[in-house]
Structure 1
Amino acid sequence: MMTPKENYFEDTLENNASIIKPNEGEKLELNTISITFKLTSEMSNDQLGVYEIILPPMAIGAKLHYHRFMDETFIVNKGLLTMQVGNKEYQAKPGTVAYAPRFTPHGFRNDTNETVKLTLIFNPSQKREGFFKGLYNTLSEVPIDPNKYLKLYNKYDSFPVDTSNMIPIRE
């Protein structure tokens, strides 16, 4: 009995592209912050996550935290984003790309009276959509339970630098 030989010299081409148009993707509204899933963990086999974030005036995206197993990239599309990296702050205008590799403390917020729109990229994506959905549930509770928030953070490879100042609300 003869088994078919594997062809080591020719590629098998597939059409697995995803084209996500403007205004497409699952959208979550967290208080006043909007997150739209553009390229999900499921679509990319956990390799990449691309999310559109809209931060209204004076909104905090995340306080200082880091990741152990994924890198995070920010692309500012509209407005002026305040980026905190370690103990420094930067004003990121449209066109700015900020890359925070694993173990780099970072946070971001909108300190202006204008809306900020950015693209957030995680690689690998580590099922980041579960984090955003859990964040939606956790931040919708009054009062916010810091232990539940920390458990969610840690499950999805996020580690606050200061657990006494990790909830993304202005004091």
Structure 2
Amino acid sequence: MQNMPTEIARGTRLRNAFNKETFVFSGPLDHADVARFGVILEKGGSGGGNALVHVHPGADEHFAVKCGRIKVVVDGREQLVEAGGTAVVPRGRPHFFANAGDGNAVLEISFTPAQQHLRFFANFATLAVRQPAWFSSAGDPNFLLIALVLHTYRDHLYLAGVPIWLQKLLFAVLAPVARLRGYRMAIQPLGEALAQAGAGLAA
């Protein structure tokens, strides 16, 4: 499975059929300050970590709704956001979001600081398209895949309700098992991607 190049062609779309969620990517993967991409949620669609309640320990997540209506659930409290509205999920707060209207919801999501959230979400979206067998019929990634991705992109996303230190330990143990079982990343974090590029040039 090849890594995605550093630049994504403007308007690239990756649809997660499980969640009825389409990611719209453009521009660089590695902006230092903000990670920003578009999301289209179809009717009944949900988004964010494959719709699992999760936290981002190192970044605030911003939602700007362009069309339609979404609900953002933070700490179990639901907020409806209409077209033209915005919402912010502070870092470390458990949350998920979903379409709350009868048509498509179009929104822009950004993370500050950027970390490597755009690579992270582009990775999951790519895997959902290329490797649907790695996901359940409900769209949940296999737990070994979760372990591999969340260990590879440490401090970007964790499941809510479980101590982060325990998840780090568990994912570190399971990530090698996931590789042995054939799971692979579609897009490596920046440091690893640069290292692989250098190895390729040396060869």
Question: When the two structures are superposed, what TM-score results if normalisation uses the length of structure 2?
Answer: 0.60
Amino acid at match of 1:147: L
Tell whether 2:60 aligns with 1:66. no
Q: Distance in 1 between matches of 2:122 and 2:88?
A: 24
Deviations 1:26-76 (A, max 9, x none): 32222242111245442x2x2111111000110110232111111110011
Structure 2: runs of 5 or more not aligned = 1-8, 136-141, 163-203
RMSD: 2.3
Contact 2:34 2:110 (8 Å CA) reproduced: yes
SS of alignment partner, residue 53 of structure 2: strand
Aligned to 1:149: 146
Q: Distance in 1 between matches of 2:147 and 2:83?
A: 31
Give, in angstroms, the shift of residue 113 of structure 1.
Answer: 2.6
From 78, 100, 104, give the equivalent of 2:67: 78
Aligned to 1:132: 121
- How many residues align structurally? 139
Q: Distance in 1 between matches of 2:148 and 2:85?
A: 32
Contact 1:76 1:92 (8 Å CA) reproduced: yes
From 25, 33, 36, give the equivalent of 2:24: 36
Considering fraction of residues, name the structure with more helix: 2
From 38, 42, 55, give the equivalent of 1:56: 42
Contact 2:61 2:109 (8 Å CA) reproduced: yes
From 91, 94, 101, give the equivalent of 2:80: 91
SS of alignment partner, residue 57 of structure 2: coil
Give, in angstroms, the shift of residue 89 of structure 1.
Answer: 0.8
Q: Distance in 2 between matches of 1:162 and 1:141?
A: 27
Aligned to 2:158: 159
Q: Distance in 2 between matches of 1:72 and 1:50?
A: 10
Amino acid at match of 2:40: I
SS of alignment partner, residue 91 of structure 2: coil
User: Judging changes above 3 Å, is the alpha-carbon distance between structure 1 residues 50 and 39 closer, same or farther for their aligned structure 2 residues?
Assistant: farther
For the pair shown, the structure with the greater C-alpha radius of gyration is: 1
Question: When the two structures are superposed, what TM-score results if normalisation uses the length of structure 1?
Answer: 0.71
Q: Distance in 2 between matches of 1:66 and 1:121?
A: 15
Aligned to 1:106: 95
SS of alignment partner, residue 73 of structure 2: strand
User: Judging changes above 3 Å, is the alpha-carbon distance between structure 1 residues 56 and 150 closer, same or farther for their aligned structure 2 residues?
Assistant: farther
Give, in angstroms, the shift of residue 148 of structure 1.
Answer: 0.8
Q: Work out the percentage of aligned pairs sharing the same amino acid.
A: 21
Aligned to 2:6: none
Structure 1: runs of 5 or more not aligned = 1-22, 164-171
